[in-house]
Structure 1
Amino acid sequence: MTRAIGTSPTTERQRHAAEVAAYVAAGGNEQVQRVVTAVHGLHRRLSQWYTKQLASIGLSAGEWAVISHLATVAEDHTSTPSQLAVSAAIAPSSMTHRLDRMSERGLIKREQDPANRTRILVSLTEPGWEMFQQVIRESDVVESDVLSHVPEDQRENLAALLELGIAGLDDALR
C-alpha cells in the first residue's frame, strides 16, 4: 500500500494493512499479525462505538465496567468495592467515588455483608439491570451488523477459532 508520507490510513482496512506491513517488516509473522491486528482493530472500533453509545444514555465506560462485572462476572451478582476496583484496574478510592455516583442514580446498592460486618457488598438494582439490558440490546444491533459480513455458516467456526486464541492467551499468562 502506498501513502504519502505523514498521512494516516483513512479506513480501518487501510489501517490494518499498514499495521500488518509494519509488524511484518519488523520481523513479525504475517499470519499471526493479520489475526492479532484484525482482532485489535475490531476491538478498537467497537470500543469507540460503545463509548459513544454509553455517553448517549448517560453512562461512563467506568460505570459500565461496574454494571457489566456485576451482571456477568461477580458470583451471585454481588461484589466488594475492592474486587470491583481490581476488575476495573483503578484505585479503591476512585471506585468508592464511582459507586457513590452510581448509588445516587439508583443503579447499584451497597449493603453490609451479613457474614462479615466490616465488608460492603455491591449489587445491581432493578434500574441497574434494566440499564444492562438496554446496553446489551443496543450493542447487539451494531455487533450483528459487524458480523453481517461474515457468512452465517462461518460464524460458529470464527467463534471457535477465537476461543482457541483466548485459551492460548490464558495458557501463556499462567
Structure 2
Amino acid sequence: MSTTSRGPTAHERYREDVAAYVAAGGEETVQRVTTAINGLHKRLGQWYDRQLVDLGLSQGEWAVLSQLATCPEGAAMTPTQLADAAGIAPSSMTHRLDRMSERELVSRSTDPANRTRVRVTLTATGWEMFSAAIQESDVVEGDVLKALDPAQRGQLAVLLERVIAGFDDVREP
C-alpha cells in the first residue's frame, strides 16, 4: 500500500471500501460502480460547497438558481414549486426568495392568469451567477475526468444516462 502522509490514497480507500462491501455480501461490480459514484459525488460536493461560499451563495440559493436556470426559456416557477424541488417549507422559500430578490438574482411577479399566484423568474444577474458557477465547475469536472479520453467520456455518459433512465423502474425498499 502506497499511502500518502495523510493516509491511504483515494484509490486505495475506494478498493478497501469495495472489498468490505463485497465481504459483507455485496456483488462486486455493483459495489465497484456505486462506491465510485458515491466517492465522486462526495469529492465534487465538497468542491461545490467551497465554490458556493466563494460566490456568496448558500446551498438553498443555488437550488433556486439551478431550478430556474434549467426551466425552458421564459418559463417561471411558483414559490411552492421551488419549495417542493428544494424539499423545504413554502414559508422558508419565501424568505429565501426575499434575500435573492434583494440581490437581484430573481424577480417575482403576479401571474396574469391567476392574480393570487406569484411567478418567480431568473434575472440577468441570476443567470450570470449561474453561468459563472457552471464555468468554474466545468474546469474541476474536466480535471476529474481527464483520465478518460473524449470517446471514453462519451461512453461513460451513455452508460450513466441509461442507468438514470431506469430510475423510474426501481422499486423502493
With normalisation by structure 1, the TM-score equals 0.90
Q: What runs of 5+ residues in structure 2 fail to find an aligned partner?
A: none
What value does the CA root-mean-square deviation take over the aligned residues?
A: 2.1
User: Does residue 71 in structure 1 map to residue 69 in structure 2?
Assistant: yes
Amino acid of the residue matched to residue 109 of structure 1?
Answer: S
Alignment partners' CA distance in 2, 1:172 and 1:79: 29
| Partner residue, 1:165 | 163
Shift of 1:116: 0.5
Aligned partner letter, 1:143: E
In structure 1, the gaps of 5 or more residues are: none
Superposed displacement of residue 152, structure 1? 1.9
The separation in 1 between residues aligned to 2:83 and 2:18, in whole angstroms, is 35
Runs of 4+ in 1 over 4 A off after TM superposition: none
The DSSP-based 3-state class of the residue aligned with 1:79 is coil
Instruction: Report the 3-state secondary structure (helix = DSSP H, G, I; strand = E; otherwise coil) of the residue aligned with 1:13.
Output: helix
What does the per-residue CA deviation read over 1:93-148, in whole Å, with 9 as the maximum and x for residues that have no partner? 11111111101111001111100111111001110011011111111111111111
Pairing of 1:121-136 with structure 2 (within 5 A): 121-136=119-134
- 2:49 aligns with one of 51, 73, 85: 51
SS of equivalent residue, structure 1 residue 109: strand
Given candidates 22, 25, 28, the residue that maps to 2:23 is 25
Using the alignment, how far apart are the partners of 1:22 and 1:85 within structure 2?
39
Task: Give the TM-score taking structure 2 as reference length.
Answer: 0.90
Percent identity over the alignment? 61
- Paired residue for 2:91? 93
Correspondence for 2:113: 115
- In the alignment of these two chains, the number of paired residues is 170
Displacement, 1:77? 3.5
Residue of structure 1 in register with 2:139 after alignment: 141
